[in-house]
């Protein structure tokens, strides 16, 4: 088929079943935008390129599909970098398309030229610079294959401006054959057998689930394994939702702001089985004292992750669909009653830890406390909402006090910790799951970083509910300054004459403010059940801390606890 490069790109996107693009036009991509408009291709216009990439990220996280974003050359492309890095750190499948100056102008410091391929090399699985229109079909076929297979991640395709108008005899490849990239789903079955033997002999085993369970859609089989064996389970931040929070075997998140039961069980376990986790520093605390009594098992599709932070006694490399399925078949050879009896004393010990020191806060306070806000949202939505957070204290309170029931229901920037992620990611999540309730929980600091996306939400009339927990500080920064810098609040105070309700209404999103405790639940209920978008600002105390907290460099059992 004869067509232009721009038309070829649209055909590539159709072949890859791309439902929507999140993009922002500019000079280098105008020919492509002309073709998109002519083809009536589904497109969402955020109000900033960073908004576009975070929206594509949110879309990918809730749907499991590859998110696609589009920007022009130079500043348009560089505005994508933070979002690409966010996706890379959390293994989110994405294809970012950028325009580049014309082939003859590349390398001449031309107007709006940037070496986006060089800039993004450290934060992409792969990237391309297209200077020949005939390379387009192969590049797109490979890009989507790379983004969604193996350990998922972002791929960038940079396309010279004149390629969009150049004619091509289009033919789309039927398969991908890349010599340097051969993801393998099935690994060594003897490693799974070794895990089974260790589990059979263990007295105090612990499952540790991470974002890989969510990304591989293996939550259901993981739940079956936990139910059948009765082995206690904890999660990373990215693993929230893999196991329902009301499951009696689930003991919460571990790490810096983990639960007492979760952190103590990690300290005392004799067999720690990590599944789709990175063992990052926020989880381990003092690395040399992490899980000191345990043999460590690491299930992961990416061999580069194994032994990177925590040395594994057994490594199981391969897709979690394969490895967990294989393990479950072996586990089923013993009755559930036998497994439960084996681990009953261990389970009861963790239950005692949980009862002794549960997550708590001053419930009788006359002030609106953020923990009570999160609990209220959880009860009103019955734990069924898709929750998107920005980064900071509110992120940790949400992780601690929202009772997640479903996988792919908690969207947050875990690895990079990107402020400004929340609002645009919620936009993308709502586009991906229009039938779901999407709630974005922000702090006053992060909200302002991409608040312009309220305009996109309003224009599309997306029913996103945005909750700002406003303590008039960069909350987590101020908490660290309180705890470790003698309350020297160096440039973390955000007290301002600006009015979030007016800002929201000016951008087309109805808004309200809650500042009375007795009205909080009723007002939240009203907002969450209102059709269309709503923003709610809730004033919370400026000195409330996220607790428990493991200080940097401390062991997981050296937690600073909160009080009720």
Question: What's the whole-number mean pLDDT along residues 154-166?
Answer: 98
Among residues 11, 49, 268, 453, which one is catalytic? 49
Kindly state whether residues 206 and 311 are assigned to the same domain.
Answer: yes
Q: Is residue 495 part of a domain?
A: yes
Kindly state whether residues 379 and 349 are assigned to the same domain.
Answer: no
Whether 111 has a pLDDT exceeding 80, the answer reads yes
Kindly state whether residues 197 and 131 are assigned to the same domain.
Answer: no
Q: Is residue 409 part of a domain?
A: yes
Question: What's the whole-number mean pLDDT along residues 28-49?
Answer: 98
Widest distance between CA atoms in the chain = 72
In contact, 117 and 127? CB cutoff 8 Å: yes
- pLDDT category of residue 184 using cuts at 50, 70 and 90: confident
Among residues 161, 295, 405, 465, which one is catalytic? 161
Alpha helices in 202-247 (DSSP H): 211-215, 219-229
In contact, 79 and 49? CB cutoff 8 Å: yes
Distances (CA, A) of 484 to 68, 76, 390: 42, 39, 24
Among residues 111, 178, 384, 522, which one is catalytic? 111
Whether 84 has a pLDDT exceeding 70, the answer reads yes
Among residues 7, 50, 112, 371, which one is catalytic? 112
Smallest CA-to-CA distance from 471 within 505, 447, 504, 502 is with 447
Kindly state whether residues 164 and 298 are assigned to the same domain.
Answer: no
Kindly state whether residues 235 and 321 are assigned to the same domain.
Answer: yes
Q: Which of 169, 201, 222 is a domain's end point?
A: 169
Kindly state whether residues 324 and 381 are assigned to the same domain.
Answer: no
- Secondary structure (3-state) at 150: coil
Query: What's the confidence (pLDDT) of residue 564?
Result: 59
Question: What's the whole-number mean pLDDT along residues 378-396?
Answer: 98
Kindly state whether residues 276 and 389 are assigned to the same domain.
Answer: no
First to last CA, the chain: 69
Residue 299 falls in the annotated catalytic set: no
In contact, 295 and 265? CB cutoff 8 Å: no
CATH number of the domain residue 467 falls in: 3.40.50.970
Smallest CA-to-CA distance from 298 within 330, 269, 320, 265 is with 320
Q: Is residue 546 part of a domain?
A: no
Alpha carbon distance 31, 27 (integer Å): 9
Among residues 94, 253, 474, 476, which one is catalytic? 476
Q: Is residue 235 part of a domain?
A: yes
Strands (E), 424-472: 438-443, 465-470
Query: What's the confidence (pLDDT) of residue 563?
Result: 65
Q: Is residue 130 part of a domain?
A: yes
Q: Is residue 152 part of a domain?
A: yes
Question: What's the whole-number mean pLDDT along residues 516-535?
Answer: 96
pLDDT > 70: what percent of the chain?
A: 100
- pLDDT category of residue 70 using cuts at 50, 70 and 90: very high
Question: What's the whole-number mean pLDDT along residues 414-427?
Answer: 98
Kindly state whether residues 434 and 302 are assigned to the same domain.
Answer: no
> Rounded to 5 degrees, what are φ and ψ at 532?
80, 180
Structural domain including 490 reads: 370-539
Structure token pair of residue 191: 């490693």
Residue 19 falls in the annotated catalytic set: no
Q: Which of 356, 388, 413 is a domain's end point?
A: 356
Model pLDDT for residues 347-362, shown as the tens digit of each residue = 999 999 999 999 999 9
> How many structural domains does the chain have?
3
Kindly state whether residues 14 and 110 are assigned to the same domain.
Answer: yes
Kindly state whether residues 390 and 535 are assigned to the same domain.
Answer: yes
Query: What's the confidence (pLDDT) of residue 213?
Result: 98
CATH number of the domain residue 277 falls in: 3.40.50.1220
Whether 342 has a pLDDT exceeding 80, the answer reads yes
Q: Is residue 179 part of a domain?
A: no
Query: What's the confidence (pLDDT) of residue 562?
Result: 79
Q: Which of 333, 356, 379 is a domain's end point?
A: 356
Residue 395 falls in the annotated catalytic set: no
Model pLDDT for residues 467-496, shown as the tens digit of each residue = 999 999 999 999 999 999 999 999 999 999
Model pLDDT for residues 273-312, shown as the tens digit of each residue = 999 999 999 999 999 999 999 999 999 999 999 999 999 9
Kindly state whether residues 333 and 377 are assigned to the same domain.
Answer: no
> Rounded to 5 degrees, what are φ and ψ at 411?
-110, 120
Q: Is residue 322 part of a domain?
A: yes
Residue 49 falls in the annotated catalytic set: yes
Kindly state whether residues 201 and 256 are assigned to the same domain.
Answer: yes
């Amino acid at each position: 088929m004869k067509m232009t490069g721009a038309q070829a790109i649209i055909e590539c996107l159709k072949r890859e079943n791309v439902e929507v693009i999140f993009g922002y036009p500019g000079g280098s991509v105008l020919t492509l935008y002309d073709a998109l408009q002519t083809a009536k291709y589904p497109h969402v216009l955020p109000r900033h390129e960073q908004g576009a990439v975070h929206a594509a990220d949110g879309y990918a996280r809730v749907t499991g599909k590859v998110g696609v974003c589009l920007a022009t050359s130079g500043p348009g492309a560089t505005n994508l970098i933070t979002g690409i890095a966010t996706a890379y750190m959390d293994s989110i499948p994405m294809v970012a398309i950028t325009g580049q100056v014309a082939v003859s102008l590349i390398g001449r410091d031309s107007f709006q030229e940037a070496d986006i391929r060089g800039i993004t090399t450290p934060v992409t699985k792969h990237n391309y610079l297209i200077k020949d229109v005939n390379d387009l079909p192969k590049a797109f076929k490979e890009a989507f294959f790379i983004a969604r297979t193996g350990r998922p991640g972002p791929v960038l395709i940079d396309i010279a401006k004149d390629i969009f108008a150049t004619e091509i005899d289009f033919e789309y490849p039927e398969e991908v054959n890349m010599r340097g990239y051969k993801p393998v789903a099935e690994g060594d079955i003897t490693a799974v057998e070794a895990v089974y033997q260790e589990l059979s002999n263990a007295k105090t085993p612990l499952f540790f689930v991470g974002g890989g369970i969510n990304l591989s859609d293996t939550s259901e089989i993981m739940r079956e394994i936990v139910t059948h064996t009765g082995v206690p389970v904890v999660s990373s931040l990215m693993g929230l939702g893999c196991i329902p929070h009301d499951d009696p075997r689930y003991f919460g998140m571990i790490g810096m702001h983990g639960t007492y039961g979760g952190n103590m069980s990690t300290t005392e376990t004799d067999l720690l089985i990590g599944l789709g986790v990175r063992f990052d520093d926020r989880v381990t605390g003092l690395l040399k004292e992490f899980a000191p009594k345990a043999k460590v098992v690491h299930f992961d599709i990416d061999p580069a992750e194994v032994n990177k932070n925590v040395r594994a006694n057994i490594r199981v490399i391969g897709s979690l669909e394969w490895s967990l399925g294989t393990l479950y078949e072996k586990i089923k050879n013993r009755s559930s009653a036998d497994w439960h009896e084996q681990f009953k004393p261990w389970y009861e010990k963790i239950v005692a830890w949980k009862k002794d020191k549960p997550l708590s806060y001053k419930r009788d306070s006359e002030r609106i406390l953020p923990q009570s806000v999160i609990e209220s949202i959880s009860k009103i939505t019955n734990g069924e909402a898709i929750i998107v957070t920005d980064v900071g204290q509110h992120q940790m309170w949400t992780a601690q006090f929202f009772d997640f029931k479903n996988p792919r229901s908690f969207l947050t920037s875990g690895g990079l910790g990107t402020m400004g992620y929340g609002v645009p990611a919620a936009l993308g999540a709502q586009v991906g799951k229009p039938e779901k309730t999407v709630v974005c929980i922000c702090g006053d600091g992060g909200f302002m970083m991409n608040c312009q996306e309220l305009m996109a939400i309003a224009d599309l009339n997306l029913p996103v509910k945005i909750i700002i927990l406003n303590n008039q500080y960069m909350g987590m920064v101020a908490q660290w300054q309180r705890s470790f810098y003698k309350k020297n609040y160096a440039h973390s105070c955000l007290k301002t004459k600006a009015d979030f309700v007016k800002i929201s209404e000016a951008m087309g999103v109805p808004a309200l403010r809650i500042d009375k405790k007795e009205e909080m639940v009723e007002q939240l209920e009203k907002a969450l059940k209102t059709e269309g978008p709503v923003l709610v600002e809730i004033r919370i105390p400026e000195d409330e801390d996220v607790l428990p907290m493991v200080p940097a460099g401390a062991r997981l059992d050296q937690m600073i606890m909160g009080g009720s």
